[in-house]
Amino acid sequence: MASMEPEHEAALEPVGRADAVRLTEDLRVAIGEARQAAVVLAGRVRDAHRARVWVPLGYSGWGQYAQAELGISRAQAYRLIDIAESAGALSRAIGAAGVLAAVSPAGDTTGLVDIGLSQRALRDVHGWLDELTTVVTERLTTATRRAGQLEVPAVRAIVAQAVDEFRQGPLPAADNTAAEDGDDALERALADAERHPTDMRLVRRLVDEMAAAGGKLGQTALELAPAYLSDQEAADTVLARYADDIGCDVETILATRRYALTGDRRALEGTWL
């Protein structure tokens, strides 16, 4: 009867020191290339969002475009934008200190540099960019005055230390999205709330954006079915068909119409909110 004991591979023999050093350096290079590729990808996603590429391609919004064309969720797409914005801001801070050439990778065309930070770190500091970049520029400028031109490891160490300090602080207040259009503001608020579900400021911001979007939908419903019509008349006349056209239920459309009429968010409870 054959033995049921698992077969064990022969123990691996360690390589010599020279080979170990070479293999380790190869790993460092590969990790750096992968990290930089991720930052370049994030930059291209950011550029696509800024160009509103979903409009000429016929998509209803950024989230639908990201899912259909890139195979990623709306939240993932916004996380990549956060990474690009953080990397871009830190790259500019390094440049402002006069050390950009020391860390800019050859052939880079995105304006981003490999500063040795993980994607998670770049996402975490997105809400502090103004304060963080001021600190980074000041520290790099001071270090350059004292020691002359900084080597790449020194630049990365200074940036990493500043980033770590900010990551240990409290979650920043939600970004001001007043300048964003309604769809983008709502999508961004949803993505932020998904990333930090326990932060009540972000949750309240999401509720505010959803209410604002519901108000806009309600205004459209009012234009189609004026206020003198009862809910039943409005539904029978046009809103049932309108709800079906946009993939929504008629009760939600009627709730947003009532909200547009009264300005009372309680009209949305149980439907839109």
pLDDT one-digit tens code per residue, 142-164: 988 888 888 888 888 999 999 98
Q: Is the pLDDT of residue 14 over 90?
A: no
231/245 Cα distance (integer angstroms): 18
68/46 Cα distance (integer angstroms): 17
Chain centroid to Cα 250, Å, comes to 33
Residue 256 confidence (pLDDT):
92
Q: Is the pLDDT of residue 102 over 50?
A: no
What is the pLDDT of the chain when averaged over all its residues? 80
* Structural domain spans, the chain: 24-167, 190-268
Question: Per-residue confidence at 168, pLDDT binned at 50, 70, 90?
Answer: confident
Nearest to 83 by CA among 54, 124, 135, 51: 124
pLDDT one-digit tens code per residue, 169-222: 654 444 444 434 555 677 777 777 777 777 777 778 888 888 888 888 888 898
210/216 Cα distance (integer angstroms): 10
pLDDT one-digit tens code per residue, 217-249: 888 898 888 888 888 888 888 898 888 878 788
Residue 173 confidence (pLDDT):
44
Q: Judging by beta carbons within 10 Å of its beta carbon (0-12, 13-18, 19+), is residue 203 exposed, middle or buried?
A: middle
- What type of residue sits at position 92? R
The pTM of this model reads 0.55
